Structure 1
Amino acid sequence: MEFFSHLPILTSFALTLMLTLVFPSLMERLHLPRPVGYILAGIILGPSVLSVLNPEGKVVTFFAELGKLLLMFFAGFEVNIAKFNEARHRAATFGLLTFAWPFALAIAVAATIGYSANSCAVIGAILASHTLLGLPIVKEKGLIDHEVAVVTVGATLFTDMLSILVLALCVPIHVRGFDPAGVLVTLLWLAIYVPGVLIGLSWLVKRLLTVFGISRVSSALIMLLVMAFAAQVAEWIGMEGIIGAFLAGVSLKRAFGEIKGDDSLEIMSQALFIPVFFIAAGFLVDFKIFLATLRDQPWLVLGVLAALFGGKWLAAAITARLFAYGKFERDLMFALTVPQVAATLAVALVAYGTRNAAGERLIDQPMLNATVVLVIVTSLVGLVLTERAARQMEQAAPAPGPAGTADGLPEAAPGLQSES
């Protein structure tokens, strides 16, 4: 495809925009999430097919890095702090369970296949998080204020945070080797850094909003400034920038409070920077290696899928039993936590790009390919299961009344309106 590799830059840009418009829309018609379309566009535009975009190009690299940070930033910014506090104990319980079970099962699968202990932990972190792709379905069915929706969305904060923290510990171990003192230093930095960002940046942003106001330009610049600062400090202390970006999002949400910030930055991010991040993920998919992974290492793919589905199901079942939730509520919690997109890809790509002194990656190409399969399968299955569970809950809901509740369905509680 020599011809496409020498296209004028504006032609390449126009072709990229066209594919990022067409493919995600096609995926939605097939009931798949938009990021799958972006990944497909990246495969076609990348070195494996047309070679329209240069994966090593400075513009593509910068846009992809910025998109990755903005993806995690808005995941944190969408957390409704006030409503999260209303169900924080149940959300924390479910969050810990829906992190721990897939994490443990994934480690068992990876260890059986022969990955190192450090790589096993990262693979566990990749599977432990989730993306609330089914939340629009829950909103459409009028169940967003139900307690299980509150608990599940709140749990997302815990799973994403824990997954990112595991990555923060494993990356320096892989690069510099295991050093007990180094691990303690990393934990100490985390203990200082996390509250420092959540509390310190919230205070700083409030001061900046007072000085510069909340106009479209100033609010967007403040968001970018705080995100970049938090990400850079995270890298200075040996962690990944996505940790700082996520915490910066939560911090800004606390600072803005009930003030509705301008959404121009989010619109631009969703239209350009975040799609480029997923397109860059598509660059890494080599069809020969991808198909070889499915052919030669089917147990890796099947094991990863089994660990994910089994772990998320156990977490939902245990939580439902602990808090006396009904069958349909359990099914909805399970369905919402199945899809793996945002944090999953962010953690996987950071781990794949991390090399030690010997040039060995933290996770290898087959595991990255298995992650792509995981994203596609869990997105499709999760959305189907969410639609089914939400419909069943909607049908079982009581008629409107001051005190009515359905059999086996607790009274609805205020819910979070956020998605990771």
Structure 2
Amino acid sequence: MNFIGTLILILTATTIAGHFSARLGVPAVIGELLVGIVIGPGVLNWVQSSTTLTQFAELGVILLMFMAGLESDIGQLRRYLRPALAVAMCGVILPVVLMGATSLLFGYGWSEALFIGVVFSATSVSISVVVLREFNALDTQEGATILGAAVADDIIGVLLLSLMVAVLGGSASHGPSTNLGLQLVFQAAFFVAVYLLVRWVAPLLTRISERLLIPTARTVTAIVICLAMAYLAELVGLSGAIGAFFAGIAVAQTSVKKVIDEHVEPISNAFFVPVFFVSIGLSVDFTNFVASLPFILLMTALAVLTKWVGGQFGAQVTGFNRDSGRVVGTGMVARGEMALITAQIGFNAHLLAKPMYVDMIFVIVLATLVAPLLLRWSLSKQRVAATKSE
């Protein structure tokens, strides 16, 4: 099927699946993920991953995180930096230790076990963002902590990944260099660029765009800022989604925020974001599923619990109550694109054998399917508790 036909199928199927998901009271992202599994190699094999589809999916997650940044309160992010760091650290340590140790029990070597732990230390907050936006919770203390923790999580995960590839002698690279010291310098420079963007560059560019005699000048300028920051983030070894998130924060401090929100959100949610979620489902392959089922189920349970418990513990020790801590913990469960990218790098660097790589994809997808349901449940539970206390 050519790409246009594939796109028609994806958009039609995700729209229908989203409708029925809403009727059942579950997040639309669940329906979109299941569409990817059904139409992909796992079931019907109508759609296979391709370079063009992957690029569309990358644009989807970039635009999704840009919108998250646009709707985030920078004051809230600063205010909850301490709990965000605590949540990130706890959410990295538990998966690395427990999931790595469990892999050893299944007969995998030390290097494979450690790398499996690193894969599941990643968090894909883009999936949680969909649910947080549904509940208008992005600018709450929980939303700010989840977003801040995801940024720290991404940095820690990239450092662990770089260290493993460098120490174990893999052939893959991520960013400009596998040298850890040099990569740290590049990443520090990136965050300096983020500060300059928020403080001076974005306001200047948006003022210029308002003087241009083109109706779409402000929207185009904002998208260019978004894509440029995503590109820079990837150059220094971070996720492009993180760069897009900071771009959204920068644009949110300007006078064009409302216009950009109205122009970018409809096209991203209708066109690019569904492709991103479908692309995750396309990674599923049931060839050796039965033989690997015990390992997959146990690792999925650990993938969910280690992030949930780690995130909730980190939130509660920094002052959150139990309900808020539960929201933060469940908001950190999703793995999505960051774990998939990390697993792919490990596979290319010969740190993971093919069967193990396929099993990791299953666990990532299953944990990602469960994550929005858990977050939606914890947000609903929090609202019920808040209503009773009034």
Normalising by structure 1, we get a TM-score of 0.77
Structure 1 unaligned regions, length at least 5: 1-5, 398-420
Contact 1:133 1:339 in 2 (8 A): no
Contact 2:64 2:126 in 1 (8 A): no
Choose from 124, 131, 140 the match for 1:150. Answer: 140
Contact 1:171 1:351 in 2 (8 A): yes
Note closer, same or farther for the CA distance 1:127–1:357 as it changes in structure 2 (3 Å cut). Answer: closer
Matches within 5 A, 1:156-175: 156-173=146-163, 175=165
* 1:23 paired residue number: 17
**Distance of 2:205 and 2:125 partners within structure 1:** 36
Q: Point out the more displaced range, 163-172 or 96-105.
A: 163-172
**CA drift at 1:239:** 3.9
**CA drift at 1:270:** 0.8
Contact 1:105 1:311 in 2 (8 A): yes
Note closer, same or farther for the CA distance 1:293–1:275 as it changes in structure 2 (3 Å cut). Answer: farther
**Distance of 2:147 and 2:291 partners within structure 1:** 36
**CA drift at 1:318:** 2.2
Q: Secondary structure of 1:319's match?
A: coil
* 1:187 paired residue number: 184
* 1:406 paired residue number: none
**Distance of 1:129 and 1:228 partners within structure 2:** 16
**CA drift at 1:259:** 5.5
Contact 2:57 2:272 in 1 (8 A): yes
**Distance of 1:65 and 1:138 partners within structure 2:** 25
Note closer, same or farther for the CA distance 1:361–1:64 as it changes in structure 2 (3 Å cut). Answer: farther
Structure 2 unaligned regions, length at least 5: 105-111, 170-176
Contact 1:231 1:240 in 2 (8 A): yes
Structure 1 residues 336-370: Cα deviation after superposition (integer angstroms, max 9, x where no partner): 5404577x312112213325665445983322322
2:47 maps to 1:53: yes
* 1:402 paired residue number: none
* 1:104 paired residue number: 93
Note closer, same or farther for the CA distance 1:10–1:104 as it changes in structure 2 (3 Å cut). Answer: closer
* 2:174 paired residue number: none
2:84 maps to 1:95: yes
Paired amino acid for 1:70:
L
**Distance of 1:247 and 1:355 partners within structure 2:** 27
Paired amino acid for 1:31:
G
* 1:283 paired residue number: 282
Choose from 367, 376, 392 the match for 2:385. Answer: 392
**Distance of 1:137 and 1:241 partners within structure 2:** 23
Matches within 5 A, 1:305-384: 305-320=304-319, 329-340=321-332, 344-355=335-346, 358-360=349-351, 364-384=357-377
**CA drift at 1:21:** 0.3
**Distance of 2:239 and 2:378 partners within structure 1:** 33
Note closer, same or farther for the CA distance 1:381–1:241 as it changes in structure 2 (3 Å cut). Answer: closer
Note closer, same or farther for the CA distance 1:241–1:80 as it changes in structure 2 (3 Å cut). Answer: same
Computing the radius of gyration from Cα coordinates, the structure with the larger value is 1
Contact 1:130 1:337 in 2 (8 A): no
**Distance of 2:12 and 2:126 partners within structure 1:** 31
**CA drift at 1:185:** 1.4
Contact 2:187 2:237 in 1 (8 A): no
**Distance of 2:116 and 2:341 partners within structure 1:** 12
**Distance of 2:367 and 2:121 partners within structure 1:** 13
Note closer, same or farther for the CA distance 1:387–1:290 as it changes in structure 2 (3 Å cut). Answer: farther
Q: Point out the more displaced range, 111-120 or 191-200.
A: 111-120
2:24 maps to 1:35: no
**Distance of 1:247 and 1:291 partners within structure 2:** 42
Contact 1:339 1:375 in 2 (8 A): no
2:55 maps to 1:62: yes
**CA drift at 1:372:** 1.9
**Distance of 2:360 and 2:271 partners within structure 1:** 27
Note closer, same or farther for the CA distance 1:94–1:29 as it changes in structure 2 (3 Å cut). Answer: farther
Paired amino acid for 1:211:
I
**CA drift at 1:275:** 0.9
Contact 1:128 1:159 in 2 (8 A): no
Note closer, same or farther for the CA distance 1:50–1:391 as it changes in structure 2 (3 Å cut). Answer: same
**Distance of 2:43 and 2:86 partners within structure 1:** 41
Note closer, same or farther for the CA distance 1:183–1:375 as it changes in structure 2 (3 Å cut). Answer: same
Q: Point out the more displaced range, 93-102 or 284-293.
A: 284-293
**Distance of 1:277 and 1:267 partners within structure 2:** 15
**Distance of 1:197 and 1:153 partners within structure 2:** 21
Calculate the aligned-residue CA RMSD, in Å: 3.3
Q: Point out the more displaced range, 220-229 or 376-385.
A: 376-385
Normalising by structure 2, we get a TM-score of 0.82
**Distance of 2:240 and 2:315 partners within structure 1:** 31
Contact 1:121 1:166 in 2 (8 A): no
**Distance of 2:77 and 2:236 partners within structure 1:** 29
